[in-house]
Amino acid sequence: MDIGGVIDYLIGFAIMAMIYAIFALGLNVHWGFTGLFNIGIAGFFALGAYTAALLTSPPPDPDQFEDFIFGGNLANQDLLDLGVDAWFLLGLAAAAVVCGLVALMIGTITLRLNDDYLSIATLGIAESVRFFFLNEKWAANGSKGLYRIPKFLGDVIAPESYDYLYVVVVLVILLILFAAVQRAVRSPWGRVLRAIREDEVATAASGKSVFRFKLQSFVLGSMIMGIGGALFAHHVRFLSPLTFDPLLATFVIWAMLMVGGSGNNIGAVLGAFVVWGIWAGTQFLPGILSDPSFRLFMIGVLIVAIMLLRPGGLLGEWRRIVARSPAHSSDRDPAGPD
Amino acid sequence: MALLEASNVVAGYGETEVLHGVSIKLNAGQVVTIIGPNGCGKSTLMKAIVGLVRVRSGSVHFRGVDISGHDPEWIVRSGLCYVPQSDNVFPSMTIRENLEMGAFVRRDDYQSRIDEMFELFPDLRRSARRKAGTLSGGQRQMLAIARALMLDPVLLLLDEPSAGLAPALVEGVFNRIKDINSAGVSILLVEQNAKESLRMSDRGYVLSGGVNQLQDTGPALLDNPEVGRVYLGG
Amino acid sequence: MNSVSSQPQNLTWPSGRFLRRFGVGMSPGRISALLAAGLLILGFLPFTKLGLVVNGLILGSVIALGAIGLTLVYGILKLGNFAHGDYMALGAYIAFFIVDGVLPRVGIEGAGLGPFTFGFPVLIALPLTALAVALGAIALDALIYRRLRDRAASTAILMMASLGVAIAIRGLVQLIWSGETQHYPRESRQVYHLPMDVRIPPDGLFVAVLAVVLVSAVYALLTYTKIGKAMRATSDNPTLALVSGINTRQVVRWTWGIGGALAAVAGVLLAVVQAQLLPIMGWKFLIPLFAAVILGGIGSPYGALIGALVVGVSMELSTQWINPSYKPAVAFAIMIGVLLARPRGIFGDAA
C-alpha cells in the first residue's frame, strides 16, 4: 500500500470514528449524564440514516426499484432550489427531528415508570424499525436497500476527493455537537441531570420534575444519534436494514462509551477512536483474532470487565462513581435513615 | 454480663455518617427503649446491630460475642431477631407462610411454635390463609412480631412497633410486648411513643444527632423534665 | 441481593384485582380457565383461525419457559437479564453439540422418533443441557453479578453487565458453531389434522406438554418447598428475607438454576419448532420474553405464564392480517400497550 492509499484509509477511518464519536456523545447524554439505559441505538441510527437518505436520494429507477414508491427525490426537484446542497443540512435536521419525535414517544410512555422499561422499549423500537425497513419495500426498497445516496456537494467535488471534504464536514459537525453537549451538561440543566443520575429520589424531593428532565435528555441524545445516522448515510452511501444490526449499531457504541468513560465527553470521543481503531485494526490480524465472532465475544467481555472493574469507564468520572456506589449500598434501606 | 452491649458504634449510609459513637447496654430479661428526634439514628442503630448496616468502628457484643461485621443471617441464628418499622412482612405470602419464613433457619419441627404464635395473636389464626399484603396495619404489625418470634429469640429488636397504628391498637401492641418480655425475651425498643414505652422499660436511652444524650431507668427518664419537654410534649 | 435502590414489583401470584372487579375469584385455576375459555371463543370467531390459536399456544409455551425464568430473576435479583435470550440460544447449541458431536460417538443417533421429527438423542440432550446452562448461569452469577451486588451496584449497572454477557455468549456461540443455520437431525412427519382446519404438528404437542409439566413443577416448587417459599419471600422483601435468616445466596443459586434450566429447555424447544438454530435466535426472542414478563407483572411467574400465552397467541393471530415477519413487533406493541394502560402488568399487584 502506497502512502496515498494509507492516507485514504486513515481518512476513511477518521470519518467512521468521528461518526461513532457522535453516537457516543448522544449515548453519553443518555447514560453518562442521566443514567438512561438505551440499548436500541441501532433504531435511532437507522431512522436518522434512512430519513436523510430518503430526503436526498435521486428518484428511483423503476427498473431496479419495483416496489419503491416513496420519492425521496425532493432534493432534485426544481420547485425547491435551496442552493448548494442545503438539502444535505435539511436532511441532517430532519433526521434529528424524526429521532427526537420517536424518542419523545417512547420516553413519554416509559420514563414515568421504572428505569428498566426504557431499555426494553428501546430494544423493541430498534427491532421494529429494522422490521419496518425490511418488510415495507415501498418505503426503502426492503432488504435490497437504498443506494446511490448522494454525496454532499457531489456536483462540485471530484469523486476521489470526496472523503477529504467529508472528513472536514463530519469534524465540524462533531465539534459543534461536542460544544453543544458540553455546554448543556455544564448548564444548570445538566446539573439537574447529574443529580437525577446520582439520586433520583432526592432530586424529585427538591421539586424538580424528574420525568421532564429525563425526557428532555432522552430526546436530545436521540436527536444527536439521528444526526450521526444521517452523516453515516452520506458516507457509506448504501443502506440496508442489515446495516443496522445490534452489533455494529448498538454494542460497539456502548463499548466506546464504556472505554471512554460515561459522563465524560472527551472520553466518549476518545473511546470511539480507540474502539473503532481496535475494531478496524484487528481485521488485519491473523487467525481467530480477526474473526468477527471473536470480536463480538471480546466486546461482551470488555463491557462486563468494565462494569466489574471500572464502572465509570477508563477515563470516566471516576470520583463520582466511587462516591455513588455506597449510596446504593446495602446500608441503604427503603425507609432510609430514620 | 450484659446480654447486648454496643460500644461507640459508628455507622451510616454512603458518605453520610449517622451514628458517631453510640453506646447502649441491655441486660438479660430487660426492656430497653431508645427515644430521640427524627434522624437521630435510632433505626440506624438497630440496623447496625442486626447487620443490615455495616458498623464502621466500635463493637456490638451479644452474649459476649462481637457480632459486628457478621451478616444478618448469622446474627439471626445467634438468637437476635429484628422487626423493621415498615415493610416488615412478605406481602404476597400467607400469614402461615410468613411465619414459616421466620423459622427458615430452624431445622426442627416448628409447627408447635406456629401454634404458640396463634395463641399469642389469635387474630392471626383466624386469617392464616390470607396474604399478608391484605392485612390491616394492626394485624400486619402482629404478624411482623410473630414472624420474628418464630426463632425463639433471646433478644427482640422492635423498630417503632406502634408507628401508624390507631391509639386503640397501640395499647394492644404494648400489651403483647409485655407478654413477650414476661415469657423471658429481652426487648430493645425504638419508639416515638415515648411515654408508653418508657413506662414499661427497665432502661431508656435518648439519642440525638447520632450520639448518646441521656440514659436512665425508664420511669426516671419519664420524670426528667428535659425529656418531658422535648420528647413527651409535656 | 442488597441493592434496593430501585425495587421493581414484588413477586406475586396474581392478585387478580381487575378480575375481582368483575366478581371473579383470584385463584390461578380460575384465571387459567377464564383465559382458556377466552382463547377458545376467540378461536371459534369467524374471523380467526383456530389453527393460528393452536400455533400461538405452542409458541406461547416456549415463551413461557423463557419468561418464567426471566421474571424470577427479575423479581428476586432485581435484574432485567438481557442475556436470558442468549441463555436460550446457548442451550439450543449445547443440545446440538450433544446430539451432533457427542452421542453419535457412543452410537446413539437418530431422528424421527415416533410421530416427532427429532430423535431420541434430543430427549437425552434436554436434561443434560438444562443442567449445563443452569450451572453456567450459577457460575456467571458468582463471577459477575454477585460481585456487583456485593458492591451494591445500581440496577442499571447490573443490566449493562447482563448485556455484556449476552454479547459475549452470542460471540462465543457464533465462534464455535458459526453463524450459519444448523438443525437437529430430523425427519419430516405428518401433522395431525383436526376438525376446523386445525393442524397440530406432533412436535408442537411435545413442546406444549413438556411446558405444562415444567411449569407445574415450578409452581409446586414455589408453593410447597422451603426453598421455593424462600425465593418468593426474597422477591417480596429482600431486606426482611435477610433478617429472617433466609440464606439468600442459596436462594440466588436456585433462582439462576431454575431460570437457566428453563431457558435451556426453551431454547431447545424453539430450535425444534423452528426446525433450525441460529446464534441470534435468543436475542430475537428477548422482546416476546420481556413482553410476557411485563404483561404478567414483573416477578410473577404465574403472570409470566399467562402473559406468554397471550403474547404467543397474539403473535400468531396477527399473521392473519399482517406480514408474519412483524410477529416480534406485535409482541412489542402488546408491551407498549401494557405500559400505557397498566404498567404493573395485568396480573401484577396494583400496589
C-alpha cell at C99: 446430539
Instruction: Please say if the pLDDT value at position C140 is more than 70.
Output: yes
Contact assignment for C246 to B104 by CB distance below 8 Å: yes
pLDDT value, residue A18:
95
- Can you say whether residue B83 is alpha, beta or left, with left for phi > 0 and alpha for psi between -120 and 50 degrees? beta
Instruction: Please compute the mean of the pLDDT values over residues C179-194 and round it to a whole number.
Output: 85
Instruction: Please say if the pLDDT value at position C4 is more than 50.
Output: no
CB pairs under 8 A between B and C: 77
CA atoms within 13 A on the CB side of C19: 19
Q: Please give the share of chain C, as a percent, with pLDDT higher than 70.
A: 84
Cβ-count burial A32-47 (b if 16+ within 10 Å, e if not): bbbbbbbbbbbbbbbb
Contact assignment for A115 to C156 by CB distance below 8 Å: yes
Q: Please give the share of chain B, as a percent, with pLDDT higher than 70.
A: 98
Task: Say which residue, C188 or B100, is predicted with more confidence.
Answer: B100
Query: Does residue B147 sit at the C interface (CB-CB below 8 Å)?
Result: yes
Q: Please give the share of chain B, as a percent, with pLDDT higher than 90.
A: 39
- pTM to 2 decimals? 0.85
- Give the whole-angstrom CA distance, residue C350 versus residue C344: 6
Grouping H, G, I as helix, E, B as strand and the rest as coil, residue B205 is strand
Instruction: Please compute the mean of the pLDDT values over residues C235-263 and round it to a whole number.
Output: 93
Sign, CA dihedral C65-C71-C77-C78, equals positive
Nearest to A330 among B40, B52, B87 (CB): B52
Over its length of 338 residues, how does chain A's per-residue pLDDT go in tens digits? 578 788 888 888 999 999 999 999 999 999 888 888 898 999 999 999 999 888 877 665 555 555 444 444 444 554 455 554 677 888 899 999 999 999 999 999 888 887 778 888 998 999 889 888 888 777 777 777 777 777 777 667 777 778 888 899 999 999 999 999 999 988 888 888 888 887 777 788 777 788 889 999 999 999 999 999 999 998 888 888 888 888 888 888 988 988 888 888 888 999 999 989 888 887 777 777 778 888 889 889 988 998 888 776 666 554 444 334 333 333 333 333 34
- Give the whole-angstrom CA distance, residue A228 versus residue A49: 8
Contact assignment for B101 to C242 by CB distance below 8 Å: no
Q: A326 to chain B: nearest residue by CA? A: B14
- Can you say whether residue A72 is alpha, beta or left, with left for phi > 0 and alpha for psi between -120 and 50 degrees? left
Instruction: Please say if the pLDDT value at position C9 is more than 80.
Output: no
How high does pLDDT run on average in chain C? 84
Closest CA–CA distance from residue B169 to any residue of chain A (Å): 23
pLDDT value, residue C20:
38
Beta-carbon contacts of B11 under 8 Å, excluding residues fewer than 6 positions away, are A331, B17, B18, B19, B44, B45, B47, B48, B53, B54, B55, B56
pLDDT value, residue A337:
37
Q: Reading across the β-sheet that carries B186-190, which strands appear in turn?
A: B80-83, B155-159, B186-190, B31-35, B203-208, B211-216
Domain boundaries, chain A: 3-244
ipTM over 0.95: no
Query: Does residue B48 sit at the C interface (CB-CB below 8 Å)?
Result: no
**Chain A residues close to C328, C-beta within 8 Å:** 127-128, 131
- Give the whole-angstrom CA distance, residue A175 versus residue B210: 51
Query: Does residue A321 sit at the C interface (CB-CB below 8 Å)?
Result: no
Place of cell 424462600: C230
Task: Say which residue, C125 or A83, is predicted with more confidence.
Answer: C125
Nearest to B38 among A327, A334, A338 (CB): A338
**Chain C residues close to B131, C-beta within 8 Å:** 15
Nearest to C243 among B50, B131, B133 (CB): B50
Closest CA–CA distance from residue C336 to any residue of chain B (Å): 26
Q: How far is CA B190 from CA A306, A338, B41, B72, B204, in A?
A: 43, 11, 10, 19, 10
pLDDT value, residue B26:
93
Task: Say which residue, C136 or B168, is predicted with more confidence.
Answer: C136
- Of B66-80, B201-215, C188-202, C334-348, the range with the lowest mean pLDDT is C334-348
DSSP annotation of A149:
P
pLDDT value, residue A76:
52
- List pLDDT tens digits, range B26-63: 999 999 999 888 778 888 999 999 999 989 999 999 99
Q: B41 to chain A: nearest residue by CA? A: A338
Instruction: Please compute the mean of the pLDDT values over residues C323-347 and round it to a whole number.
Output: 81
- List pLDDT tens digits, range B84-140: 988 899 998 999 999 999 999 888 888 899 998 998 888 888 888 888 988 888 889
C-alpha cell at A214: 429525563
- List pLDDT tens digits, range C268-319: 999 999 889 999 999 989 999 999 999 888 888 888 998 999 999 999 988 8
Query: Does residue B133 sit at the C interface (CB-CB below 8 Å)?
Result: yes
In CATH, the architecture of C17-39+54-313 is Orthogonal Bundle (1.10)
Bridge partners, B33 (sequence order)? B189, B204
Task: Say which residue, B154 or B224, is predicted with more confidence.
Answer: B154
Structural domains of chain B in order of their starting residue, each with its CATH number: 4-89+153-231 (3.40.50.300)
Pairing assessment for the beta strands B16-26 and B203-208 based on DSSP bridges = unpaired
Nearest to A124 among C168, C287, C323 (CB): C287
pLDDT bucket at C198, cuts 50 / 70 / 90? confident
Closest CA–CA distance from residue B101 to any residue of chain A (Å): 20
CA torsion, ordered C168, C174, C177, C183, to nearest 10 deg: 110
Contact assignment for A337 to B54 by CB distance below 8 Å: no
Domain boundaries, chain C: 17-39+54-313
Contact assignment for C167 to A328 by CB distance below 8 Å: no
Q: B50 to chain C: nearest residue by CA? A: C243
Q: How far is CA C236 from CA C76, C78, C153, C227, in A?
A: 8, 11, 20, 14
Nearest to C165 among A291, A300, A332 (CB): A300
pLDDT value, residue C348:
56
